[in-house]
Amino acid sequence: MTPASWLAALWIGVASAGLTGSAMAERLLIAAETTFAPFVMLDDAGELTGFDRVFGDEMCARAGLTCDWVLTEFDQLIPGVVAGRFDLAMSGLGDSPERRALVDFTAIYLPSSVPSAYVGPLGAPPPDAALIGVQAGTIHEAHVASRALRYQSFDTAQAALAAMAAGRVNLVFGSSSYFEQILPRTYPMFQFLSFDPVAVDGTAIAIAKGRDDLRNQLDATIAAMLADGTVAQMARFWFTARNNL
């Protein structure tokens, strides 16, 4: 089953702990894409999983919120929050100045400690002489555009990799953590060629401007999850231990 077949129609209910009825809790809609492992992806049963799914479920339960997940394309996450179609957006979103012009962000729950990278076959041209594949709507697309590099945008990072396998682009630029997940299993002919950090403060949740009460509530919950080690434990599994399974 392809991610596209799930778009917009798939809703995944998250039961909130400690509530006597869902009507007593505020109900939130969280938007995510499905192709940015290990943050968000579909498992073998077609269910949404990944670090952000587990983190988001725990955050909602602790905050006493009832949260539903809806799947969309990555480049629709921020516009959907701005338009009010989604309350929150999560998919390994980097908190950047460009995005802050459109939406607010919660407190950072993961530091931006993993650099972005160019991947491709050995002998590929350097970025300033290459046609680069990037995922549309990402900080990686904005980064190559700001450097006046030649690039082609794709709906997903995996589509960019497929285009490189077909010889339509020379390099793909994106998240190192994503490439660490997908290259060994799906594209072993490609490797890390160079690293190029993208300026973001860290990973956070996008929320519409003006929703300060909700943002403060989520910030307090995120702070508690960071303080008690919950986030660190989740990160060890999804970004370290899972690679060795």
Using the predicted structure, report yes or no on whether residue 44 has a pLDDT greater than 80.
yes
Nearest to 172 by CA among 186, 185, 188, 191: 191
Domain match, 217 and 233 both: yes
Q: Contact at 8 Å (CB) between 71 and 48?
A: yes
Give the pLDDT of residue 25: 55
Domain match, 96 and 212 both: yes
Domain match, 174 and 93 both: no
Q: What is the largest CA-CA distance in the chain?
A: 61
List, in order, residues 6 or more apart from 42 with CB less than 8 Å away.
Answer: 1, 3, 6, 34, 48, 49
Domain match, 13 and 82 both: yes
Question: CA-CA distance, 88 to 137, in Å (whole number)?
Answer: 17
Q: What is the domain-level CATH number for residue 20? A: 3.40.190.10
Q: Which helix (H) or strand (E) holds 42?
A: strand 40-42
Which 3 state secondary structure label does DSSP give 98?
helix
Mean pLDDT of the chain: 87
Query: Final residue of a domain: which of 160, 179, 195?
Result: 195
C-alpha radius of gyration, the chain, whole number: 18
Domain match, 63 and 136 both: no
Pairing of strands 171-175, 202-203: unpaired
Domain match, 205 and 156 both: no
Phi-psi region of 51 (alpha: psi -120 to 50; beta: other; left: phi over 0): alpha
Planar angle of CA 52, 182, 80, nearest 5 degrees: 40
What burial class does residue 67 get, using C-beta atoms within 10 Å of its C-beta: 0-12 exposed, 13-18 middle, 19+ buried?
buried
pLDDT tens per residue across span 157-178: 999 999 999 999 999 999 888 8
Domain match, 10 and 89 both: yes
pLDDT tens per residue across span 105-143: 999 999 875 579 999 999 999 999 999 999 998 889 989
Query: Final residue of a domain: which of 195, 220, 235?
Result: 195
User: Per residue in 96-129, is it b (16+ CB within 10 Å) or e — as a string?
Assistant: beebeeebbbbbbbbebebebbbbbeeebeebee
Question: CA-CA distance, 179 to 172, in Å (whole number)?
Answer: 10
Using the predicted structure, report yes or no on whether residue 12 has a pLDDT greater than 80.
no
The pTM (predicted TM-score) of the whole model is 0.75
Q: Alpha carbon of 206 to those of 29, 79, 105, 131, 160: distances in Å?
A: 12, 10, 5, 31, 25
If pLDDT is split at 50, 70 and 90, which confidence band does 216 have? very high
Rounded average pLDDT over 73-78 = 93
Domain match, 33 and 67 both: yes
Using the predicted structure, report yes or no on whether residue 103 has a pLDDT greater than 50.
yes
pLDDT tens per residue across span 183-202: 999 999 999 999 998 877 88
Nearest to 225 by CA among 201, 199, 205: 205
Domain match, 127 and 18 both: no
Domain match, 92 and 23 both: yes
Query: Final residue of a domain: which of 195, 210, 235?
Result: 195
Q: How many domains does the chain have?
A: 2
Parent domain of 120 = 116-195
| Greater model confidence, 179 or 23 | 179
Q: How many CB atoms lie within 10 A of CB 44?
A: 6
Domain match, 217 and 107 both: yes
Domain match, 63 and 156 both: no
Of 63-72, 111-120, 201-210, the least confident: 111-120
